[in-house]
Structure 1
Amino acid sequence: MTTPTTVTKSNGAVLEAAGVTMRFGGLTAVRAVDLTVAPGEIVGLIGPNGAGKTTFFNCLTGLYTPTEGTVSYKGTRLSHKPHLVTQTGVARTFQNIRLFANMTVLENVLVGRHTRTKEGLWSALLRGPGFKKAERGSEARAMELLEFTGLAAKRDHLARNLPYGEQRKLEIARALASEPGLLLLDEPTAGMNPQETRATQNLVLAIRDQGTAVLVIEHDMRFIFNLCDRVAVLVQGEKLIEGTAEVVQADERVIAAYLGTPFEGAPGDEEAAEVDAAEAHATAPRSAAPQPADAAPTEPAADGTASGTSAAPGTSAPPGTNSAPGTSTAPDENAPNGDAR
């Protein structure tokens, strides 16, 4: 059995990723990314589609073995086997919801408890006093988590019958059942309405207040900048910048990356003009553009822009722009055909 090995350098960090690189054949999806998460901290990871965010998450949690670099949790180098990573103290949710659809809400959370129970095969078969005590303890803890996430009243409902927002909560509850010191959330508000997004933000803050550090990927810039202590930006697999929300939003390279505009060095007049033109194009009225015959007509909104339009293909709104609360104008990475990398 592969076991985690201790490393000497931890700097008190819950998570320490050093020089993480992931190659698929000739494609480098993640290149030499360094990232730390301190105890009691919420760190955001953002970037355009294809920036390598989910690939980086998969390297942290053992789904992928990094081509280069190391990942450590509280000074212990993590195994490249997901169940051992979870046992060490790192839990995650997924971009596409992965619940046990035909199991109840309670049973889904109990699945997350398996790394924290000591009973083995013979104990389960014989169902002795030790097994029954452990079973009662696991159920009590699962119910605490369902209360915490607001799902206690639906403990006996099948997971597939829950509304979308509650399925997201159930995935978080199942992850918390493993008693992690670090929780990784991959697009926790994708597809949610503004009310569900605010509820998720409050839930993540409550998780942090209970002592669990959080690393979160998200396209909703308002959600990220209101929630996180620090934000790191990935672009084409490399870390572009890391800092507070204010620092990241003000960085011209981040704006250029989100607009799909090349950026090299400090911006001169020509580069600044290109960024301004791209931003103006992304927010310009589209009513004059040709539309298919069966397309619904657009109606001008109060600010003169056309409602029902979207950003140019392959682009998303730069950080700090005024998008609708709880929404993101970035392209959807939650396509049913699989995770975008």
Structure 2
Amino acid sequence: MTTQTITRGETVLDARGVTMRFGGLTAVRNVDLTVGSGEIVGLIGPNGAGKTTFFNCLTGLYVPTEGEVRFKDQVLPPKSFKVTAAGIARTFQNIRLFANMSVLENVLVGRHTRTKEGFWSAILRGPGFHRAEKASRERAMELLEFVGLAPKAEHLARNLPYGEQRKLEIARALASEPGLLLLDEPTAGMNPQETRATEELVLAIREKGVAVLVIEHDMRFIFNLCDRVAVLVQGEKLIEGDSATVQSDERVIAAYLGEPFEDAPGAEEVAEVEAAEAQAEAQAEAVEAQAEAAEGEGEGEGEEDQVEATEAEAEAAEVRATEAQAEAAEAQAESTTDAAPGKESDR
């Protein structure tokens, strides 16, 4: 598996003072976090702790209200597709595959940030175009072999079992050749066998020199897997350390048992934050899709696979925006009925 050349131990991700506010509501407050090359770091916390919002700040979907995010000592651009091109890839809490595309085509979508062939190459279909197309397919098949999906390359993504859809999302993320992979609840909904297979896959990814930052609610998975674990509670980092240190901290235990902290927000305030986040994510994804499509047109990128990938991503972003807007409306309704404690979504 080919990855970017990174010296082991180098700081890959450096997030400093990251704060994210939605109007007068603060979802993430002054969070610092670093990840070194070849390291697996876990991010845990109760529902509504701000974990996914923090991920969105790291990947350019949100622009932090305060603070900065650096990748390999470079401040990241505030656009998610440019963050991907810089070397950070992610998966999502809710699976976001192109259901009507084949398994192979889904991975080829992830390759488009590394495709260099331009407009005239695609029009003329010269030797360079065919070499690039062949190389992309070969690389995609290597990744499918790596995650165990090569025999199903021509299957539609929607026909894969749930656990294999999660693997496909990881393969697509790896197709962009990241130096850092962000996994948002990769074992959600999995049985113990699937969870163990995911753990082995993440360890194999680390062995290839890719740093990993993972959000997860399965504590056994996190503590078995991670070199370090950071805990978010009410948008703030409560503690960071090795598994033994975090597991024995009384504040962490209290947070997971639901014991209130001093000045802890009420259920209505939590629901308001979740509603604001859902609406902001919907708007950000719609803007991102438009920006990426416009940038592709401006650069004259005409390779067929690349154009199809951009169009597919734009279409998917529109769908996600609609879903997120519906989620925002639902969250807002729940805030008025004090139903926030029962919500399963974690922003």
| SS in structure 2 of the partner of residue 45 of structure 1 | strand
Q: What does 1:129-168 align with in structure 2 at a 5 Å threshold?
A: 129-168=127-166
Amino acid at match of 2:206: R
Q: What does 1:54-93 align with in structure 2 at a 5 Å threshold?
A: 54-93=52-91
| SS in structure 2 of the partner of residue 231 of structure 1 | strand
CA contact (8 A) 1:14 1:181 kept: yes
Amino acid at match of 1:215: L
1:173 aligns to what? 171
Cα displacement (A) at 1:205: 0.2
CA contact (8 A) 1:106 1:142 kept: yes
Cα displacement (A) at 1:41: 0.3
1:229 aligns to what? 227
1:40 aligns to what? 38
The one of 1, 19, 22 aligned to 2:20: 22
Partners of 1:21 and 1:225 lie apart in 2 by 27
Residue range with higher mean Cα deviation, 254-263 or 160-169: 254-263
2:316 aligns to what? none
1:3 aligns to what? none
1:201-221 superposed Cα distances (whole Å, 9 cap, x missing partner): 000000000100000000000
Amino acid at match of 2:42: G
Partners of 2:10 and 2:199 lie apart in 1 by 26
Percent of aligned pairs sharing the same letter: 79
Partners of 1:60 and 1:260 lie apart in 2 by 27
Partners of 1:258 and 1:125 lie apart in 2 by 57
1:118 aligns to what? 116
Partners of 1:182 and 1:81 lie apart in 2 by 16
1:281 aligns to what? none
Q: What does 1:237-256 align with in structure 2 at a 5 Å threshold?
A: 237-256=235-254
Q: What does 1:168-317 align with in structure 2 at a 5 Å threshold?
A: 168-263=166-261, 314=341
1:87-118 superposed Cα distances (whole Å, 9 cap, x missing partner): 00000000000011111000000111111111
Which is helix-richer, 1 or 2?
2
Amino acid at match of 2:208: Q
Runs of 4+ that moved beyond 4 A:
none
Structure 2, unaligned runs of 5 or more: 1-8, 263-339
| SS in structure 2 of the partner of residue 112 of structure 1 | helix
Cα displacement (A) at 1:123: 1.6
| SS in structure 2 of the partner of residue 62 of structure 1 | coil
Amino acid at match of 1:206: A
Partners of 1:94 and 1:22 lie apart in 2 by 19
Cα displacement (A) at 1:263: 4.5
Cα displacement (A) at 1:121: 2.2
Cα displacement (A) at 1:12: 3.4
Partners of 2:106 and 2:256 lie apart in 1 by 37
Cα displacement (A) at 1:314: 4.4
Cα displacement (A) at 1:125: 2.3
Q: Please tell me the root mean square deviation across aligned C-alpha atoms, in Å.
A: 1.4
Partners of 1:332 and 1:25 lie apart in 2 by 23
With normalisation by structure 1, the TM-score equals: 0.75
Amino acid at match of 1:73: F
The one of 75, 95, 98 aligned to 1:97: 95
Partners of 1:41 and 1:314 lie apart in 2 by 34
Which protein is bigger by CA-based radius of gyration? 1
Partners of 2:234 and 2:260 lie apart in 1 by 12
CA contact (8 A) 1:260 1:314 kept: no
| SS in structure 2 of the partner of residue 14 of structure 1 | strand
Partners of 2:124 and 2:202 lie apart in 1 by 40
Partners of 2:261 and 2:85 lie apart in 1 by 42
Partners of 1:165 and 1:202 lie apart in 2 by 14
Cα displacement (A) at 1:262: 2.7
Partners of 1:124 and 1:102 lie apart in 2 by 24
Partners of 2:18 and 2:207 lie apart in 1 by 29
Structure 1, unaligned runs of 5 or more: 1-10, 265-312, 316-330, 334-339
| SS in structure 2 of the partner of residue 214 of structure 1 | strand
Partners of 1:125 and 1:232 lie apart in 2 by 50
Cα displacement (A) at 1:128: 1.2
